[in-house]
Structure 1
Amino acid sequence: MSKTWFITGASKGFGREWAEAALERGDNVAGTARNLDDVKELVDGYPDTFFPLQLDVTDRSADVDAVKKAHEKFGQLDVVVNNAGYGHFGMVEELTEDEVRAQLETNFFGALWVTQAALPIMRAQGSGHIIQVSSIGGISAFPTVGAYHASKWALEGLSQSLSQEVAGFGIHVTLIEPGGYSTDWSGPSAQRSDEIDAYADVREQAAKRPSAADPGKPEATRAAILKVVDAENPPLRIFFGKAPLGIAERDYESRLQTWREWQPVSEEAHGS
């Protein structure tokens, strides 16, 4: 049985790959983009099953309207993919208020507003799957992208709570946590703060991160995302790519070691 998808940021990157994967197998896709010219090929190639919607996800009322239109168009809403987002590069000291707010408005609040718009529909259906595009940067952190991490860590916490709240309604939640991929995330789509010279060495070292040496292929995620949405019991979290598991293991082992080392102080802080 075919599924109906709602995908934000369907014009490029993972959103485009997953829209094409769904359409190629006969699913319906409502895909959003800031500029509808960017999804013209999908409109021309799948006139009956692709529904284009112009959307800036930071506009909450527009998010609600877009989800409503998608549901009215196809009569159901099985998979919602919150993919729209971008990376902001800047040391914490370099970030302006507007830059941080813009990062959170798109990566976090945009996903929240779309999720809230979809939930009443999914509750009424008694089924649905919310896909949140997070990152290995949603569970670990590196220099130069603190604002981006803040947005993804927020999405992670929100989504874990959400998964427990909606499980009884037959709604699944999955956080996709990709490593480095050959997309324009760090290129044309990225935003950058004005640099402070004092951080030149930190910036140079950050540019040598191993993940940049062997990026994943975005098209390889097509089969993976279909396995996730078709699973009877999909995971709350899943990495995409080879590198994230090793990063997570090192990070969490370090955290556990520190927590255990300081447990006597923790217990002291509890009181008798």
Structure 2
Amino acid sequence: MTTTSPARDRVWFITGASRGLGRAFAEAALAAGDRVAAAARDTEALAALAADHPGRVLDLPLDVTDRAAVFAAVDRAADHFGRVDIVVNNAGTLSMGAVEEFTEAEARAQMEVNFFGALWVSQAALGRMRAQGAGHIVQVSSIGAVAGHASTGLYSASKFALEGMSEALAAEAARFGVRVSIVQPGGYWTELYTRMRTAQPMAEYDPMRAELEEQYASAGPTDSEPRLAAEAVLTLVDSDDPPRRLLLGGMVYDLAFDVYRGRMAEWERWEDVSRAAEHPVPPPEWLFPAAG
């Protein structure tokens, strides 16, 4: 890891900035001497932050699922501060339930915020950053994108989608001097838990829920202060060689390695079948029919 002493007074655009991790990111950026465009559905909670940092906070009411509103908000931030240097796609929701329990509306709502919201912000920000020739987009994903777990399938799906999009975005944006990093946090004590949505339970999954509750109870407290995640993100954006992915937390670090070791072992066990499924041949005639 290499870091530099960055020139301060950078401009951040942070979604979901009124509470939880987003609020911690905003406070850390301001403490470092930067300016913040703080976007949230409800900006009332940002009034004190703006009052404490006059001229350095722009509070923006924003529903990230509204693409036109997202583009307008990014433009307003860039016009107000003169540029946007760092974008943190933090806005997100958590929906709990077995995959079978979700209605179509509930499934789409999970994707609208966690995936499409981040997509719209990334598109809007990239236009500005491309013109600047520099910028850094930080996507707040989850350990849930490393592996799906019982009862968090739709949440994991939204974060898997976010990471797939962000991998491609990173390759496309690099030619314009724009960096993309994916942050994969574990648990932090935020209102994500108190605001989460739960699908209508089916009795068939009651035993599963009981087992999960027992596991959570036996594990004890595992979540951390949001301030620690904010410190890690500051280190990330200060680096002259930022990672494509950054795990946040020792527990999730160990879990990620266990998951990938297990996958590699399984791939190796099935290597013969995998290799037998490939034997290059010329394209069939129907794919490229002869002219005339």
Same fold (TM over 0.5): yes
Using the alignment, how far apart are the partners of 1:212 and 1:157 within structure 2? 32
Using the alignment, how far apart are the partners of 1:25 and 1:132 within structure 2? 20
For 1:84, the equivalent position in structure 2 comes to: 91
Q: Which letter does structure 2 place at the counterpart of 1:193?
A: A
Q: 1:255 aligns with which of 244, 253, 263?
A: 263
Q: CA deviation at 1:131?
A: 0.4
Q: 1:134 aligns with which of 141, 144, 147?
A: 141
Using the alignment, how far apart are the partners of 2:174 and 2:146 within structure 1? 23
CA contact (8 A) 1:211 1:243 kept: no
Decide whether aligned partners of structure 1 residues 157 and 211 sit closer, same or farther in structure 2, where only a CA change above 3 A counts.
farther
Matched, 1:195 2:201: yes
Per-residue deviation, residues 180-229 of structure 1 (Å, max 9, x unmatched): 11112222x20111101111121122232476632111112232111111
Matched, 1:160 2:167: yes
TM-score by length of 2: 0.90
Q: 1:204 aligns with which of 198, 206, 210?
A: 210
Q: Which letter does structure 1 place at the counterpart of 2:119?
A: L
3-state SS, counterpart of residue 270 of structure 1: coil
3-state SS, counterpart of residue 190 of structure 2: coil
Decide whether aligned partners of structure 1 residues 170 and 211 sit closer, same or farther in structure 2, where only a CA change above 3 A counts.
farther
Q: 1:240 aligns with which of 245, 248, 261?
A: 248
Q: Which letter does structure 1 place at the counterpart of 2:56?
A: T
Using the alignment, how far apart are the partners of 1:211 and 1:227 within structure 2? 30
Q: 1:217 aligns with which of 217, 225, 228?
A: 225
For 2:274, the equivalent position in structure 1 comes to: 266
Residue correspondence of structure 1 range 78-157 to structure 2 within 5 A: 78-157=85-164
Q: Which letter does structure 2 place at the counterpart of 1:113?
A: W
Decide whether aligned partners of structure 1 residues 202 and 110 sit closer, same or farther in structure 2, where only a CA change above 3 A counts.
same
Per-residue deviation, residues 80-134 of structure 1 (Å, max 9, x unmatched): 0100001000100100000010000000000000000011111111100000000
Per-residue deviation, residues 240-267 of structure 1 (Å, max 9, x unmatched): 1111111111111111111111111112
Q: 1:15 aligns with which of 18, 22, 30?
A: 22
3-state SS, counterpart of residue 243 of structure 1: helix
3-state SS, counterpart of residue 42 of structure 1: helix
Using the alignment, how far apart are the partners of 1:244 and 1:90 within structure 2? 22
Residue correspondence of structure 1 range 224-235 to structure 2 within 5 A: 224-235=232-243
Matched, 1:52 2:65: no
Using the alignment, how far apart are the partners of 1:243 and 1:15 within structure 2? 22
CA contact (8 A) 1:180 1:212 kept: no
CA contact (8 A) 1:180 1:211 kept: no
Q: Which letter does structure 2 place at the counterpart of 1:184?
A: E
For 1:63, the equivalent position in structure 2 comes to: 70
Q: Aligned pair count?
A: 271
Decide whether aligned partners of structure 1 residues 211 and 88 sit closer, same or farther in structure 2, where only a CA change above 3 A counts.
farther
3-state SS, counterpart of residue 80 of structure 1: strand
Unaligned runs of 5+ residues in structure 1 are: none
For 2:31, the equivalent position in structure 1 comes to: 24
3-state SS, counterpart of residue 136 of structure 2: strand
Per-residue deviation, residues 1-29 of structure 1 (Å, max 9, x unmatched): 22100000000111000101111222110
3-state SS, counterpart of residue 77 of structure 1: coil
RMSD between aligned alpha carbons?
A: 1.3
